[in-house]
Structure 1
Amino acid sequence: MTSAPAIGFEYRPSRGLALGLTGMVLLAMLSIALSGLPGWGKLVLASGAMALVLASRIRQATPPASVGWSPDAGWLLLGRDGVETPAELASHRMLAGCLVLELRIGERRQVLWLLPDNSDSDTRRRLRMRLAAGQGARSPTVI
């Protein structure tokens, strides 16, 4: 049996996901503003919520320019600066037609959301098939 061919794709952050997250933050701020809390309570709660949003944005690693997986090399991320970095698949999920990959790069983690607006359906389908077959978790050891 021949080994599975490598899969590679360019990665760009999803605009739909960014819009959805922005909408959720705005709704959270609106709900705080319309709550029955006193003015200082609204200010503290809104400031805390915004601090959490900013902290999560800072903690999130810069997204890679492209991603590749091969049976021999495993997962490779090509940074925007042209540096290739090996990664290990920590987990994967399928959420309503969206593929979510969590890759570990040393101590850091990189979460990649593959949605219809930032990846083609064929790439998502091939990745789902490989991941379902257990091929994407770790590259096999060659003796």
Structure 2
Amino acid sequence: MRSAPSIAFDYRPSAVMAGATVLVALAAALAPWASAAPLALRTALSALALAGAAIVLRRYCRPPFRRIVRGVSGWRLVDREGGEHAAVLHSHRRLGSLIALDWRCAPRTHFRVLLTPDNLDADTRRRLVLLLARGEPPGIDAIV
């Protein structure tokens, strides 16, 4: 297998994670109904759980960046309109088949992604893991 000094891939949210979020939201909405709380409080808690889940799912399913690129000049995030933004890979974690990446695009701006087997093909995943395992010298990802 060859080394992966550069990589580019389209990012789309995981349908499995969105489905899991819906299931957790439904469980949270049903939980107050198993208590002896007043009807108004149970209704309010259920509505709050569903509204919160709707907001989170909307943000998750409409990410600000659609493409992730790592080249000679560092990490670049491409937004919906095609504009490129320099980014610094702030952290990355791997838990089994999940890869969590966190970028800083500007001061106080973060973009976090969770890559699962359903939103990144196996070859790109393997190349990304290799790239992340190589490490990088400090300062290579400075925002220009």
Q: Which amino acid aligns with 1:120?
A: D
Alignment match, 1:110: 111
* Residues 1:82 and 2:82 aligned together: yes
| TM-score of the pair, normalised by structure 2 | 0.79
* Residues 1:132 and 2:143 aligned together: no
Tell me how far 1:63 sits from its aligned partner. 3.7
Give the match's secondary structure for 2:65.
coil
Identity %: 35
Q: Give 5+ residue unaligned stretches, structure 2.
A: none
Tell me how far 1:54 sits from its aligned partner. 4.8
- 5 Å-filtered alignment, 1:90-105, equals 90-105=90-105
Q: 1:137 to 1:15 in 2, by over 3 A?
A: farther
Q: Give 5+ residue unaligned stretches, structure 1.
A: none
Shift >4 Å, 4+ stretches:
54-61
| TM-score of the pair, normalised by structure 1 | 0.80
Aligned length: 138
Tell me how far 1:51 sits from its aligned partner. 4.7
Deviations 1:63-108 (A, max 9, x none): 42211112x3111011110101111112111123011111111122
